[in-house]
Amino acid sequence: MKRSIKPLHILITAGGTREYIDPVRFISNASSGRMGYALARAAVRAGHKVTLIAAPTALKPPKRATVIQVVTSGDMFSAVKCEFERCDCLLMAAAVSDYKPARISRTKIKKEQTVLSLDLKPTTDILKWAGKHKRSGQILVGFALEDTGVKKNAEKKLASKNLDMIIANEPSAIGAGKSSIHIKSRTADWQTLPICSKTASAREIIRQIELCRIGL
């Protein structure tokens, strides 16, 4: 395959993080990790070096990817900080929890006939941190899952977090084998991919990243 750029080191996050309440219960989300894993496979097949930071999922990663297993948003943040300086592109496809319990019980919380209330606090915004610390030439790609004002809200995220590209989709994409996505870079208009497999979407995203690299 002819290539106009040298292979990139692409750092990809995938899956939904878990925020523990006690040793057996946690807060999470419905992310399957399929998009992140599809991106890892597409990047490997395109000849790039891939490091995959994966929250819990039953999916099998590509054999040629370096895999770092994490559980919580804190774990993922630590892994991203460790790997970020060495990558050419960070692709944040993971569904990182926005909140976590303010306190974690060391023992299993017993069921009582009363209402149980949880105090939650925000987790670290990994993408925002990366936007503040990226070096010249690094590409930062984020995802925006929106149920209203999809493109408008995604553009706000693109600007506020200093991203180079944003991938926008809707809640119906969670766990689905096929979906439609919208892609926007800082220097181009929106592109909408028709409903297709996540494998096909991932190939196009990797292609767009390669084009973005050429433009830097």
What are the DSSP calls for 129-179, one per residue?
A: HHHHHPPTT-EEEEEEE-SSSHHHHHHHHHHHTT-SEEEEE-GGGTT-SEE
Q: Which domain holds residue 169?
A: 9-100+119-215
What confidence tens digit (pLDDT) does each residue in 178-190 have? 788 999 999 899 9
Tokens for 105? 């019980």
**CATH number for the domain harbouring residue 155:** 3.40.50.10300
What confidence tens digit (pLDDT) does each residue in 14-34 have? 999 999 999 999 999 989 999
**Which residues 6+ apart lie within 8 Å of 120 measured at CB?**
27, 99, 100, 101, 102
Three-state DSSP state, 13? strand
Domain presence at residue 4: no
pLDDT over threshold 90, residue 212: no
Give yes or no: 162 in active site.
no
Helix axis angle, 73-84 to 126-133, nearest 10°: 20
Domain presence at residue 171: yes
Domain presence at residue 123: yes
d(C-alpha 108, C-alpha 15), whole Å: 25
How far from each other are the two terminal CA atoms of the chain, in whole angstroms? 22
Domain presence at residue 84: yes
Domain presence at residue 35: yes
pLDDT over threshold 50, residue 1: no
pLDDT over threshold 60, residue 3: no
Q: In total, how many domains does the chain have? A: 1
